[in-house]
Amino acid sequence: MKPAILDAAAEPLVIVCRNCNATATGNYCHNCGQETRLHAPSLGEFLHEFVGHYVALEGRLWGTIGRLLFRPGALTNEYLAGRRRRFVEPLRLYLSLSIIFFALLKFSGMEPVHMDGKAKMDKESVVALHGDATEDDVKIGKALDLKKDKWGTGQLGKVIERFDGLSPDQKASVLKDGFYRYAPYAMFLLMPVFASYLKLLYLGSGRRYGEHLLFALHTNSFAFVIFALLLYLPEGFMKGMLWLWVIGYLPWAMRRVYNKSRFGTFWRWMVLALLHSISLGFAVLGAMAMGVALAH
């Protein structure tokens, strides 16, 4: 082979980066880090990128899930200790597991709403909704007319009236659509509320609000995984054990992260569970109400 040919072969190929227009001589641009040899993306590359992002980097996904499921509070402590690069980010973890959970819930065929009987409001319901309606005004139309002056345009009354005119199956369908459409957002908005409860329960602990929010994201991520498993597990020993793990997980995690006594952890767990259950109920009802309000 001639020397000139050897020299030409030895020279690195100069490439212009398509992202920042800098000149590069390797597979990656030294200026922005983008690959220099690009081609149309394939399905395999998308899968490789997804798996590599969560798994290949020191097993981030498996290390995160392992601590999340089997070591209550350990993932939160690792993050607070500054060991963060080896685990999936808390917000990304929560959002990913939330999406998976609600998708599995929908495909499981579980009905979040069951409605039987005739779709009519009785006298007690009308009086409960409209305290100043007389007992003679038992029909929903009359009761709504009494409230129109206070409600302005009467939009809320129209929504209730329209919903009341639906059949039981149609009502269930509207509420179900509202649940699946808005419940994920409602659950996400509960995270700051959950963290606020923790802030109040641990006043004087020196913990910042962000630390409580981190704990909320991790514990609720755990709940998404376990409840997704409960959807598909048959009744039996394994399902019973999972329910016991759900009950014991939160107080164990609280004790590990906040370092309080057993009694101090127990009463805080009881108060937190009660407050969160109430908030969760309102969130689900709110999601369904949004579905009713926006249904055509």
Q: Do 101 and 226 lie in a common domain? A: yes
Q: Do 275 and 186 lie in a common domain? A: yes
Does residue 33 lie within any of the structural domains?
Answer: yes
Of the three residues 165, 198, 219, the one that is the final residue of a domain is 165
Does residue 108 lie within any of the structural domains?
Answer: yes
Does residue 54 lie within any of the structural domains?
Answer: no
Cβ-contact 98, 217 below 8 angstroms: no
Q: Do 198 and 234 lie in a common domain? A: yes
Q: Which domain holds residue 25?
A: 1-38
Q: Do 181 and 277 lie in a common domain? A: yes
Cβ-contact 94, 194 below 8 angstroms: no
Does residue 61 lie within any of the structural domains?
Answer: no
Q: Do 178 and 236 lie in a common domain? A: yes
Is the four-CA dihedral 254, 190, 105, 48 of positive or negative sign?
negative
Of the three residues 104, 130, 165, the one that is the final residue of a domain is 165
Number of domains in the chain: 3
Helical segments of 202-261, H only? 209-232, 237-258
Count of C-beta atoms within a 10 Å radius of residue 96: 16
Of the three residues 165, 198, 227, the one that is the final residue of a domain is 165
Q: What pLDDT score was predicted for residue 181?
A: 82
Q: Do 115 and 134 lie in a common domain? A: no
Q: 288: closest CA among 156, 186, 220?
A: 186
**Torsion angle of the four alpha carbons 57, 62, 65, 69, in this order, in degrees rounded to the nearest 10:** -150
pLDDT in tens, 219-267: 999 999 999 999 888 888 998 999 999 999 999 999 999 999 999 999 9
Does residue 18 lie within any of the structural domains?
Answer: yes
Q: What pLDDT score was predicted for residue 155?
A: 59
Does residue 84 lie within any of the structural domains?
Answer: no
Does residue 57 lie within any of the structural domains?
Answer: no
Answer whether residue 195 shows pLDDT above 80.
yes
Q: Do 217 and 259 lie in a common domain? A: yes
Rounded Cα gap, residues 6 and 201, in angstroms: 74
Identify each DSSP E strand in 71-170 by its residue range.
none
Rounded Cα gap, residues 281 and 283, in angstroms: 5
Q: Do 196 and 207 lie in a common domain? A: yes
Does residue 208 lie within any of the structural domains?
Answer: yes
Query: Angle, to 10 degrees, between the axis of helix 262-294 and the axis of helix 237-258?
Result: 110
Q: For residue 269, what are the contacts with CB-CB under 8 A and spacing of at least 6?
A: 250, 251, 254
Using the 8-state DSSP alphabet, how is residue 27 labeled?
S
Q: Do 232 and 288 lie in a common domain? A: yes
pLDDT in tens, 139-179: 444 444 544 444 444 555 666 666 676 677 776 777 777 77
Rounded Cα gap, residues 114 and 146, in angstroms: 31
Which of 6-20, 68-82, 175-189 is the least confident region? 6-20
Query: Phi and psi dihedrals of 262, rounded to 5?
Result: -60, -45
Q: What is the mean pLDDT of residues 2-18?
A: 58
Q: Do 176 and 285 lie in a common domain? A: yes
pLDDT in tens, 74-87: 999 999 998 888 88
Band (6; pLDDT cuts 50, 70, 90): very low
Q: What pLDDT score was predicted for residue 54?
A: 54
Q: Do 253 and 147 lie in a common domain? A: no
Q: Do 10 and 97 lie in a common domain? A: no
